[in-house]
Amino acid sequence: MSPGDHETRARAAKDVRSWSIADLGSLLDRENIRHAYVMYENGEVRLSHKALAPIGAFFELSHDFAKHEAVFFGREEGIETVFTAFVHDTRRGLAQGGLRLWPYESVADLLSDGLRLSQGMTRKNALAGLHWGGGKGIIPLPPSARTAEEYKQSEFAEERRRLFEAYGRFVASLDGVYYTAEDMGTGTADMNVLLGQNRFTTCIAADRGGSGNPSAHTAWGVLRAMQAAWLHMRGTEDLGGVRVAVQGAGNVGAPLIEYLHRLGAKLIIGEFAPNIREDMRARYPDAEVLEDHNTIFDVDAQVFAPCARGNVLNADTIPRLKAKLVCGAANNQLGEPHDAERLQERGIVYVPDYLCNRMGITNCADEWAGYLEEDVQLAAERVYPDTLRVLRHARALRISTAEAADRLADIAAAELHPVIGHRGRRILDHLVRSGWSAGTTQKRTPRLAFVPAAHEPRIHRQAERAGAFSGNGPAVAAMPLSTAARPHLGMFLSPLLMDVEARSRGNAARRVIGLDHGGAALQYAVRESLPYDVNEITRADFVLACHDRHAAHDAAIRHQLGQTGIGFDPKAWLDPMSAETSEVVARLYYRLADSGRIRPGEYGGYRCPECATVLAASEVVDSDDGERCERCQSPVEQQISEQVFLDLGREARELTAAIEGGAVSFGDTKARKDVLAQLRDLKPICISRQSWWGNELPGRPDEVLSPWFSLAALAVEAAGWPREAAPEPMATVFVDSSFLARWVVPSQLIALATYGRPAFSHIEVHGAVQIVERDNEDEHPEERFDEDRYQYRTVLRKMSPRLGNVVEPASLVQRFGADSLRLWYLLSLRANDRTAVVLTESHAREARHAIARLNASLSSLLAPGTAPRETQPADDALIAKIGALGDEALAAYTRHRFDIAAKRFVEAIDQLAAYARSIERDPASGSGRDTAVRLVPVMARAFSPLCPFILTRFEAEVVQALRDRGRGEG
């Protein structure tokens, strides 16, 4: 954004701050707008109407804007307010969140609240494991009443009913992308009115088949969270004799008090309503019921359970607390985000509100599936392990518990719904395409020749059936994919490059691809997911759990590779934990041991107590307070121990000679230099690990082989050993620069030691996939208005599940198709940067738009029913230009410059689109259809290695067109 742009936006955003709700209503009326939206994707804000530009600017500059997918506005005649629905994130499912009826001073307050609350719902739903995204509805209180409470009075009953009916129609018009529920200012009766207008309402009364009042379940969830936190702090979950101060004895507080009483806790009760106080005294004579409810913050309690209202933990109350644990049902307990750190600084463990009070939403979110009380009980039990997970995460990373919960929730939110996938996004697309914002009820669906979701899977299956991926030509390989995590964009670059290479060699190439078993990272992830300590189960059970996760990720990886169009022969799929490969690993070990290369020795290095294994220096990271384990972030210890080593000094010299003599080559000189340097100082490699997960280490039954040994075995197996005594090296391997030293070099050396030849003859190194994130540069943003406080700085981050910034390839494939995704990767490659491949939003847009243009141009040119026309000079000129670009692409493949091929493809699409536009303007300027028929094979030959699906599809259309013409002439 240029400084000028920024100023214009800041001015526009400031305007929004001065708008009242009535101003917004008048603006919509003036412009005759009934439905409007602001949508956001890939760095692009899309507005349904220009008049909404200030709101778009407000979002972009707002501290509360967290890449919300959409915000909708509605207006209905005769209703004195506006309607809003916020859709934050629909990856885990359709957006769900309560409907608030509340007075708002300004449009800015309304929008900030909606943005914040809908993101909160994403996190609450995700952390609870619900397959719902996050949303929120807000109706600003109509001017006829002064407070939400007053609006409940009977004089407003008729107006209220009309209001909710109209909002119900608004929700219906959104086609289910937003599901509504009860919240502040709304009640079950209102939900019943909404339900009369749409089928996207939850939290319905029990007499309509809904789930009814969740309060007792909420109280049970809070109790389980409290027990888990007590276990975390004191090593026991027994609350007998523990002094617990409960604020508020209402719907949730009262059953919580009862549960605590039964467990023998010493109760202190602060309640505002005198009649409830009396009732509490009568029921619990041993409890201390405070005369002044405000003194609850000062009492001598060990646990504080706020169950009354929000904003109870703030700069004023936190210093007064004597309790060491805060765990209660109230929503929005923290006055501001910084209060989480205030609590942490005072050594108070805070169980984030949305973690322990989730039962309200959990109870009703899944009522569409029918109601079973046991579901709710089971879900409440889940609060216990989840609380432990959050508290342990916070302790390990030394962050506040609120931040730990947010991070874990954000990771869960990135997971795609297992059944409906990216349906939310597709509904948004559909609302745009069908003219929702024009207020028409007639929905349009444009005709497209190529619909990725419909055509790609079929094309891939056909290729698989035809054996297109089990070539018997030269082998091309990609580095192994880690099963420590589900597939994400960071993992698919190597296999994609391998696939482009194989396709550019005419599909005769043999594709070699397999898995990294995940090693310590997978083991750590499994430990994290266990609700109990790992030592409570046996090694055998733990390994079984690792196997399950490995298998699940393996299946997801294979499936998504297929969706991305990356071909491989499933029979040749490599997995170090499979019976076949385990055997190869063992044979390899004995072969090396027999030749005297394996021997015991002393290892002076690091040990991670959490992962319980030795670490190489590369697995240790420096932090402000000492050295930490790269995986689990725990502090590491220095240690000297007995380990097993592999000595490959002789092979290092052989490999050096092979590189210098040109038998082993590299795509770039830096990689070559790095490898030669590594070989010069190669020390014996430690191959023993004190982990529970991995290939067996022969002779040391309690230990396993280092993952690098297993992966090197994978390379020799891929080359053909031991089926062949001395297999040919694989022609080309694509590898992330961080895998060069850790995988390529050991594989080359082990292959040389085993059968006298290297595993790979040409090595192409590419950068690790990174994404661009925005960070705030301002140190004290809270002191400023949104539009003034955000100066964004661009930071690059590696994509990693641990950072919660992963995107699964499937999610993009389902929305835009594999061709767009492939082109995005390839456009992001930079010629001379072997350290980072930055997937930017602008490249994503460029790729998507290019494929959409290609689709639109070819569909319009090939549309049936156009009469044949004379060939014009423009036709030949187009074919010549695109032919030349295609030749450049073909030459670029041989140099492994897939980025150049991708750029030529986009240029070719631009030429084609310009031609299609000129034909549309003046049909006599070219032959149109005939030219397209001639052009498609030219484009397919040059560019289908990059984007195979759309070009295969149009090739089929052309064949059909030629057949039809032949029939016509015959």
| Residue closer to ligand NAD, measured from CB, 119 or 613 | 119
Provide the minimum distance between the beta carbon of 237 and ligand NAD in the complex, in angstroms, as a whole number: 22
Q: Are 205 and 190 in contact (CB under 8 A)?
A: no
Q: Considering the complex, what minimum distance in angstroms separates the CB of residue 230 from ligand NAD?
A: 21
Judged by CB under 6 A, which of 101, 121, 163, 249 binds ligand NAD? 249
- By beta carbon distance, the residue nearest ligand NAD is 250
Q: Please select the residue that binds ligand NAD; options are 182, 271, 456, 930, rule is CB under 6 A.
A: 271
Please tell me whether residue 42 binds ligand NAD under the rule CB under 6 A: no
Instruction: By CB under 6 A, name the one of 197, 202, 218, 761 that touches ligand NAD.
Output: 218
Q: Return the number of the residue (355 or 497) whose C-beta is nearest ligand NAD.
A: 355
Size of the site for ligand NAD (CB under 6 A): 25
Min. distance of Cβ 246 from ligand NAD in angstroms?
A: 9
Calpha distance 787→793 (Å, rounded):
15
Residue 740 found at the interface with ligand NAD (CB under 6 A):
no
Longest CA pairwise span in the chain (Å): 101
Q: Which residue has the tokens 């009760």?
A: 269
Cβ proximity to ligand NAD: between 92 and 217 the closer is 217
- Are the C-beta atoms of residues 466 and 564 closer than 8 Å to each other? no
Residue 206 binds to ligand NAD (criterion: CB under 6 A): no
Q: Which is nearer to ligand NAD, 93 or 253 (CB)?
A: 253
Counting contacts by CB under 6 A, is residue 468 touching ligand NAD? no
Instruction: Report, in Å, the least distance between residue 546 CB and ligand NAD.
Output: 36
Rounded distance between C-alpha atoms, residue 449 and residue 857, angstroms? 10
Taking the complex as a whole, the smallest distance from the CB of residue 119 to ligand NAD amounts, in Å, to: 17
* 3-class DSSP assignment, residue 64: coil
DSSP, collapsed to helix, strand or coil, labels residue 179 as strand
Closest to ligand NAD by CB, 215 or 494: 215
Q: Which of 119, 122, 186, 215 binds ligand NAD (CB under 6 A)?
A: 215
Contact characters 946-965, ligand NAD, x per CB under 6 A: --------------------
Q: Which stretch binds ligand NAD (CB under 6 A): 135-143, 248-256, 711-719, 753-761?
A: 248-256
- Residue 508 burial (C-beta neighbours within 10 Å; 0-12, 13-18, 19+): exposed
| 278-310 residues labelled b (16+ CB within 10 A) or e (exposed) | eebeeebeebbbbeebeebbebebbbbbbbbee
Residue whose structure tokens are 């190529």: 450
- For ligand NAD, the binding residue among 93, 248, 758, 801 (CB under 6 A) is 248
The alpha carbon of 938 is separated from its chain's Cα centroid by a whole number of angstroms, namely 38
- Does residue number 758 form part of the binding site for ligand NAD (CB under 6 A)? no
Closer to ligand NAD by CB, 71 or 355: give it.
Answer: 355
CA torsion 545→549→551→557, rounded to 10°? -170
Nearest to ligand NAD of 277, 550 (CB atom): 277
How far is it, in rounded angstroms, from Cα 2 to Cα 497? Answer: 35
DSSP 240: T
Q: Does 130 bind ligand NAD (CB under 6 A)?
A: no
Binder to ligand NAD among 176, 250, 457, 474 (CB under 6 A)?
250
Figure out which of the listed residues 251, 311, 578, 639 binds ligand NAD, where binding follows CB under 6 A.
251
**Considering only residues 81, 202, 211, 247, which one is a binding residue for ligand NAD as defined by CB under 6 A?**
247
Angle, helices 3-18/107-127, rounded to nearest 10 degrees: 100
Cα 860 to Cα 755: distance, rounded to the nearest angstrom: 58
Q: 12, 70, 252, 509: which one contacts ligand NAD (CB under 6 A)?
A: 252
Q: What share of the chain is helix, strand, coil (3-state, %, to 5)?
A: 50, 15, 35
Token duo for residue 870: 């004379």
Q: Provide, rounded to whole angstroms, the least separation between the CB of residue 512 and ligand NAD.
A: 53
Of the pair 84, 247, the CB lying nearest ligand NAD is at: 247
- In the complex, least distance from residue 552 CB atom to ligand NAD, rounded to whole angstroms: 32
Name the residue type at position 701. P
Q: How far is the CB of 254 from ligand NAD (least distance, A)?
A: 8
Residue 378 C-beta: closest distance to ligand NAD, Å: 17
One residue of 25, 93, 142, 270 binding ligand NAD per CB under 6 A:
270
* 796 DSSP β-pair partners: 772
Q: Verify binding: residue 732, ligand NAD, rule CB under 6 A.
A: no
- In three-state form (DSSP H/G/I as H, E/B as E, the rest C), the secondary structure along 84-141 is EEEEEECCCCCEEEEEEEECCCCHHHHHHHHHHHHHHHHHHHHHCCCCCEEEEEEEEC
The CA distance from 896 to 501, in Å, is 8
Of 184, 190, 218, nearest to 204 (Cα)?
A: 190
**615 vs 12, 535, 566, CA distance in Å?**
54, 21, 34
To ligand NAD, the closest distance from the beta carbon of 290 in angstroms equals 9
Comparison of 271 and 654: residue with beta carbon closer to ligand NAD = 271
Answer for the pair 501, 512: CB distance below 8 angstroms, yes or no: no
Query: CB under 6 A: which stretch of 8-16, 247-255, 384-392, 480-488 binds ligand NAD?
Result: 247-255
Consecutive H or E run containing 25: helix 21-30
Footprint of ligand NAD on residues 689-728 (CB under 6 A)? Answer: none
Quote the Cα angle for 60-61-62, to 5°: 95
Cβ 256 to ligand NAD, closest distance in Å? 9
**Residue 253 binds ligand NAD (CB under 6 A):** yes
Does residue 120 belong to the site contacting ligand NAD (CB under 6 A)? no
Residues carrying an active site annotation: 136
| Helical (H) or strand (E) element with 712 | helix 707-719
3-state secondary structure of 500: helix
Minimum Å gap between C-beta 426 and ligand NAD is 31
Is the Cβ of residue 215 or residue 828 nearer to ligand NAD in the bound state?
215
**Per-residue mark of binding to ligand NAD, 329-368 (x: CB under 6 A):** xxx-------------------------x--x--------
Interface pick for ligand NAD out of 156, 259, 272, 785 (rule CB under 6 A): 272
Pairwise CA distance, residues 814 & 563, whole Å: 9
Cα separation, 302 vs 323, in Å, equals 4
Would you say 248 or 490 has its CB closer to ligand NAD?
A: 248
Count, residues in the chain: 970
> What mask of x and - would describe binding to ligand NAD in positions 286 to 325, judged by CB under 6 A?
-------x-------------xxxx---------------
Q: d(Cα 356, Cα 360) in Å, to the nearest integer?
A: 10
Whichever of 247 and 732 has its CB closer to ligand NAD, that residue is 247
376: contact with ligand NAD by CB under 6 A: no
Residue 562 binds ligand NAD (CB under 6 A): no
What mask, x for binding ligand NAD by CB under 6 A, covers residues 2 to 21? --------------------
* Other beta carbons less than 10 A from residue 188's beta carbon: 16
Q: How far apart are CA 655 and CA 665, in angstroms?
A: 11
Q: Looking at this protein, which amino acid is placed at residue 662?
A: G
Q: Report the amino acid identity of residue 768.
A: A
Q: Tell me the window of 267-275, 484-492, 770-778, 847-855 that interacts with ligand NAD (CB under 6 A).
A: 267-275
DSSP H or E run through 885: helix 873-894
Q: Looking at residue 63, what DSSP letter applies?
A: T
Between 271 and 415, CB nearer to ligand NAD = 271
State in angstroms the smallest separation of the CB of 393 from ligand NAD.
23
Judged by the rule CB under 6 A, the positions of this chain that interact with ligand NAD are: 214-215, 218, 247-253, 270-273, 276, 293, 307-310, 329-331, 357, 360
